[in-house]
C-alpha cells in the first residue's frame, strides 16, 4: 500500500478521496482537479485499486472512487503498533497527543 501511494499523483488522489469521504469522486472530477489525462489517471487509479487503497463502483457510465478507509486504518494500526509500541522507537504521545489515555499503549515490561 505504501508503494502504491509513493508517487505524487497517487498521493494527491488519496488526499482528494479522503477529503471527499464518504461520497468519493468520479474519475472525471479527479482528472480535472489533478489536471491528468484520462489514460494517466486510469493507470494511477488501477494501481491504487489493486493495492486496496481505493474502491470503485460503477454509476451508470461513471466510475466513482472512494478511499478504502478500513484498509488505510489497518495500515495505520500496523505502523503504530510496529513503530510505537513494539520497538518503542517512537513516542506515541508525540504522534497522537490528543488520543484518550486509555488507548495509549503501555511501555512497561
Q: Looking at residues 54-67, what average pLDDT do you find? A: 97
Looking at CATH, the fold of the domain delimited by 8-69 is given as Arc Repressor Mutant, subunit A (1.10.10)
Structure confidence at residue 18 as a pLDDT band (50, 70, 90): very high
pLDDT in tens, 62-104: 999 999 999 999 988 888 877 777 766 667 677 666 765 444 4
Contacts of 99 (CB under 8 A, 6+ apart): 92
Residue 92 vs residue 20, higher pLDDT: 20
Query: What's the pLDDT score for residue 99?
Result: 61
Spatial contact of 62 and 28, defined as CB atoms under 8 Å apart: yes
User: Torsion-angle region of residue 27: left (phi > 0), alpha (psi -120 to 50) or beta?
Assistant: alpha
CA atoms within 13 A on the CB side of 11: 5
Percent of the chain scoring above 70 in pLDDT: 78
* Lowest-confidence pick of 10-14, 35-39, 47-51, 105-109: 105-109
Instruction: Give the predicted TM-score (pTM) of the model.
Output: 0.77
* Domain positions in the chain: 8-69
DSSP codes joined into one string, 50-98: HTTSEEEEEETTEEEEEE-HHHHHHHHHHHHIIIIIIS--S-HHHHSTT
Three-state DSSP class for residue 109: coil
Amino acid at each position: 500500500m505504501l508503494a502504491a501511494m509513493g508517487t505524487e499523483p497517487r498521493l494527491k488522489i488519496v488526499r482528494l478521496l479522503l477529503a471527499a469521504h464518504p461520497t468519493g469522486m468520479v474519475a472525471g472530477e479527479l482528472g480535472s482537479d489533478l489536471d491528468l489525462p484520462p489514460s494517466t489517471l486510469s493507470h494511477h487509479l488501477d494501481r491504487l485499486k489493486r493495492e486496496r487503497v481505493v474502491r470503485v463502483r460503477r454509476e451508470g457510465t461513471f466510475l466513482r472512487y472512494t478511499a478504502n478507509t478500513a484498509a488505510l486504518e489497518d495500515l495505520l494500526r500496523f505502523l503504530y503498533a510496529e513503530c510505537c509500541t513494539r520497538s518503542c522507537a517512537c513516542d506515541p504521545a508525540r504522534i497522537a497527543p490528543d488520543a484518550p489515555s486509555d488507548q495509549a499503549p503501555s511501555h512497561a515490561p
